[in-house]
Chain A
Amino acid sequence: MNASTPARGGGRSLDRLLPFLLLPVALIALGPVVRLLLEGVTGGDGFTTDHLTTVLTRPSTGTALLHSLITAGGGTLLSVLIGAAFAYLVALTDIRGKGALVFCLMVPMMIPPQITALAWMQMAGPSSTLLKLLGIAPPLGSPQPLHSPGGIILLLGIQHASLVFLTLRAGLRMIPADLVEAARMSGAGSFRVWMQTVLPLSMPSLIAGGAMAFVTALGNFGIPAMLGIPAGYATLPTLIYQRLVGMGPAVLPEVAVLALLIGAVAIIGVLFSRAVLSRRGFGLVGLSGNPLALTLGAARRPVEIGLWAFIFVILALPLLALLATSLIPAYGVPLTFANATLEAWKEVLFTQPVTRRAYGNSLMLATSAAAILLAISLPLAWLMERRSNRLSRILDALIDLPYALPGVVLSIACILTFLNLPFTDLTLYGTIWIILMAYLARFFVVMLRPIQASIAQLDPAMEEAAASVGAHLGRRLRDIVLPLAAPSAAAGAILVFLTAVNELTVSALLWSSGTETLGVVIYNLEDSGETIMASALAMSIVLLIIFLMGLVQAGANRFPKGVIPWQS
């Protein structure tokens, strides 16, 4: 009888306390967005629409909006072409080496946009080390072709092709194989099957993927900043950046309106994509076991060669160009075996205080964001799954917002919120903490969703068994839920780390001297003409990213479906 009475712990009180976790989470994640909305409507003092109209009718606003729509629209078109071609070929045909192909297509998505831009700039233009190496560089003085709307569109298209790919492939997997088999039985060739059966059925996924690519392209800051600003071609995110950097917090009410404008366009895109996806239904019951495999026949080899050549051009070539630039002794000098030097690498990794500080800051921010989110998300995901209530369901629906909204929008929202900490004289603006807060809000879903997925898969009886043998809530979470959700949590933490460590958009607006992040420093180095050091720094980050992606990939079969973004 004595042994039957379990040790009393804080079990019941924890059960009562845990729901209060929802409140700070909701505040951190959604508070800034709400604050921004208020600012846009009130302009800081009282409800008025004057302020809105002033900013919206200014010509620069219209031009930037137009530029944003053009580049995002063009980029989306390109993303759809690339993403769809890969998705159809990978999901439907019998080409070989699909895993490696998909991994390579996903790398551009994980590489920060400003590095992509930097790498491509090293591939084109008169100073391209790579072109000089091959002896086909255009003459000095000719313009950098990428410093143009076309260049922005090209890079946006490549950067976000993987979003279209992933959405479309997920949709294609829901098409029952017997539908296609039925079409083939009736004598249709591979191409006709695709045209008449697969294409119409997968159209909603394609459109939804396109909408997502559009929203992401719209919020992209790194590419238009690197390619557009030198050409005097401003999009909404770069306009906001230039205003805020030029004039300081005084223009906050004004940029808030711009942020709301771009946020509104983005939300329309998100809602559109959700609406299309939810009508995807068709009564399709997928997972019919054997995946589709249309035989390409004699065309298989040429198609494979074509796909790999494409990957080579969009991934390997720019990175090679970046690597080449990072090895030359002085900008404009051609690379030879004799003059190749690791001087710039040594400089950025060990000597320069700014780059070392940036590495420190970014690693610290990424690690803290990952650790804090890990600690919060585990109980939170458990709470949302097992003790779901209205508040938790609302939070679940809205938590995507800070991630789906363009980074500049969240940055402005954070500045507004933390410029004067409510009820105090303190400010977080200019400190590293404001960046951390913004990262916490922005990357919450990146951490939460994988953990949610694995807790949803957990048989509740597992926890009930622990409860019945006397383990109170705290111990159940620690001994049963944590170990079983650990692989997904680890994947989530690595993803947060990966995204945070090379983040530019948010920190570009929130940094100040001493709190630079890697993204900011690469941008600043390039901006001040230190292209070689920028390249070396960028290259070191790319290596770090590929290493981390490989780490996640290695544990792939231990995660529930949907945890790894490049493995939907």
Chain B
Amino acid sequence: MAELNFSNLSKKFDGVPALHEINAQIASGEFVALLGPSGCGKTTLLRLTAGFEHPSSGTIHLGGDKVAGDGHFVPPEERGVGIVFQSYALWPHKSVHANVAYPLEVRRVPRPEREARVAEALALTGLSAFANRMPSQLSGGQRQRVALARCLVFDPRAVLLDEPLANLDLALRASMHEVFSLFHRRTKATMLYVTHDQGEALALADRVAVMEAGKIRQFAAPEVLYREPVDCFVAGFVGDGAVVSAGITGQTRENRLVVNVFGQEVLSRSATTEPSHVCIRPESITLCNDAPIRARVLSCTYLGGRFRLTLDAAGETLVAFASQRAAIGETLGVKLNDLWAFRDPGAAVVMAKSLAHA
């Protein structure tokens, strides 16, 4: 277990940047998810951490030791970082037992201790019955667990997982989530988990780093990402709902900022006094007939217990939950509360001068 530290980390492939000035600290024992669309550099960050790639600039520290950067480079085999590949990368010529025992053989751990640790790792991942099988005789989920056992058996200082569940079906993913959580609780290992499935990231991780185009846009706990996204990308990428532009009124009321949305003044949480957008989650919307903001129902899907509506309000598409079915084309009133207003770095701020108190 060790903390992990990226500072000003950049990586270019043939001059094309894949990662740009990454700065992040991951505490010892923390479970961090890297979330982002395809091609944003998640795998690249993982491979830099493992030591399979050299950074173009910047440094990586692992447990206080510099492992890459400034002309210094510790090769993967000396970093003590475990990695679980999307393709599992089990060695097909070794049995499950031999796969799991290999890290200890390499370390010349004496046989009795080795056997004990292998047995423990296999038991922890529920594989004791399969010890003598070859990888080709296992199911996808079982292979994934072998990869995990092979990784945990040598007490790595950090564990990296690259979309470990991408090849598994939905039901299996849910059960593997439990395995990962259990694994993390037992080993207290520092974990870096790459995924492009936000449900997975939010469910598993202590903190989530949302990446886009080689940069970390926001690095925060799941509930913070959901309630307080820093920009339009994060607001749109994480969670359900809508992002609409907001006008500044310059006022506060009841400790909340007053912003102008759809021509109405609404109260909003915010970290800035000059927001450009508000994030409207489905929970922020109450449907009632006498509300001033009018919206037309575009679709209505039953989710079990409630309906999910998409609504058109002044050209923006909102998402709301309703307890009753709504007819498509019907017009409803929308009341907004507990919004989150933020300032997108790329957006111009709209001063809503038209409003009364000017």
Binding site for B on A (CB under 8 A): 1, 3-8, 11-12, 15, 459, 461-462, 464-472, 475, 479-480, 483-484
Contacts and interface: CB of A to CB of B under 8 A. Distances in A.
A471 B155 contact: no
A479 B77 contact: no
B50 interface: yes
Contact of A465 (B85, B93, B107): B85
Contacts of A1: 155, 157
A15 B75 CA distance: 11
Interface string B96-115: 00000011001111000000
Given A7-B106, A469-B106, A462 B91 contact: yes
A3 B187 CA distance: 14
A11 B52 contact: no
B278 interface: no
Given A11-B75, A462-B91, A465-B83, 7 more contacts: A4-B154, A465-B91, A468-B50, A468-B79, A469-B82, A470-B78, A484-B93
A493 to B, nearest CB: 19
A336 B82 CA distance: 75
Interface in B68-84: 75-83
B85 A3 contact: no
A145 B106 CA distance: 68
14 contacts: A1-B155, A3-B154, A11-B77, A459-B87, A459-B89, A465-B89, A469-B77, A469-B150, A470-B78, A470-B106, A470-B154, A479-B102, A480-B91, A484-B92
Contacts of B103: 469-470
A467 B77 contact: yes
Contacts of A461: 85, 87, 89
A8 B78 contact: yes
Given A11-B77, A483-B93, A484-B93, A464 B85 contact: yes
Given A3-B107, A462-B89, A469 B154 contact: yes
Contacts of A472: 75, 77
A3 B91 CA distance: 22
Contacts of A5: 78, 80
A466 B102 contact: yes
Complex A-B, nearest 9 residue pairs according to Cβ-Cβ distance, in ascending order = A469-B103, A4-B80, A461-B89, A465-B89, A467-B76, A468-B83, A470-B106, A461-B85, A483-B93
B102 A471 contact: yes
A480 B150 CA distance: 15
Most buried by B among A12, A459, A465: A465
B29 to A, nearest CB: 14
Nearest to B98: A479
A298 B76 CA distance: 65
Nearest to B81: A468
B333 interface: no
Nearest to A464: B52
B78 A6 contact: yes
A466 B76 CA distance: 9
B77 A471 contact: yes
Contact of A464 (B89, B106, B154, B157): B89
A6 B107 contact: yes
A1 B154 CA distance: 10
A454 to B, nearest CB: 13
B91 to A, nearest CB: 6
B156 interface: yes
